[in-house]
Chain A
Amino acid sequence: NAGVTQTPKFQVLKTGQSMTLQCAQDMNHEYMSWYRQDPGMGLRLIHYSVGAGITDQGEVPNGYNVSRSTTEDFPLRLLSAAPSQTSVYFCASSYSSHSRLRSYEQYFGPGTRLTVT
Chain B
Amino acid sequence: KQEVTQIPAALSVPEGENLVLNCSFTDSAIYNLQWFRQDPGKGLTSLLLIQSSQREQTSGRLNASLDKSSGRSTLYIAASQPGDSATYLCAVRPSDSWGKLQFGAGTQVVVTP
B99 in contact with A108 (CB, 8 Å)? no
Chain A residues near B93 (CB, 8 Å)?
104
A106: which of B42, B101, B104 is its contact (CB, 8 Å)? Answer: B101
Asked whether B76 is an interface residue with its Cβ less than 8 Å from the other chain, the reply is: no
B55 located at the interface, meaning its Cβ lies under 8 Å from any Cβ of chain A in the complex:
no
Q: Hey, which chain A residues are within 8 Å of B42, CB to CB?
A: 110-111
Once the chains bind, are A33 and B43 in contact (CB under 8 Å)? no
**Is A97 a contact of B104 with CB atoms below 8 Å?**
no
B46: nearest chain-A partner, CB-CB? A105
How many A-B contacts if CB must be within 8 Å?
A: 59
- Is B46 within 8 A of A104, CB to CB? no
Chain A hits for B99, CB < 8 A: 31, 33, 45, 48-50, 56, 58
A90 interface contact, C-beta 8 A: yes
B98/A97 in contact, CB under 8 A: yes
> What A residues does B106 contact at CB under 8 A?
42
Please tell me if the beta carbons of A105 and B43 are within 8 angstroms of each other in the complex.
no
A43 at the interface (CB under 8 A from B): yes
Q: Contact between B43 and A109 (Cβ–Cβ < 8 Å)?
A: yes
Q: Say yes or no: is A1 at the interface (Cβ < 8 Å to chain B).
A: no
Q: Given that A42-B105, A43-B89 are contacting pairs, would A107 and B100 also be in contact in the complex, using a CB cutoff of 8 Å?
A: no
Given A104-B31, A106-B91, A111 and B43 contact (CB-CB distance below 8 Å): yes
Chain A residues closer than 8 Å to B89, beta-carbon distance: 42-43
Closest to B48 in A: A105
B45 partner residues in chain A, CB cutoff 8 A: 108
Residues of chain B touching chain A, judged by Cβ–Cβ distance below 8 Å, are 31-32, 34, 36, 42-46, 49, 51, 89, 91, 93, 98-101, 103-106
Given contacts A42-B103, A90-B44, 14 further A-B contacts (CB under 8 A): A42-B89, A42-B106, A43-B89, A44-B103, A48-B99, A96-B98, A104-B49, A104-B93, A105-B46, A106-B101, A108-B36, A108-B45, A110-B43, A111-B42
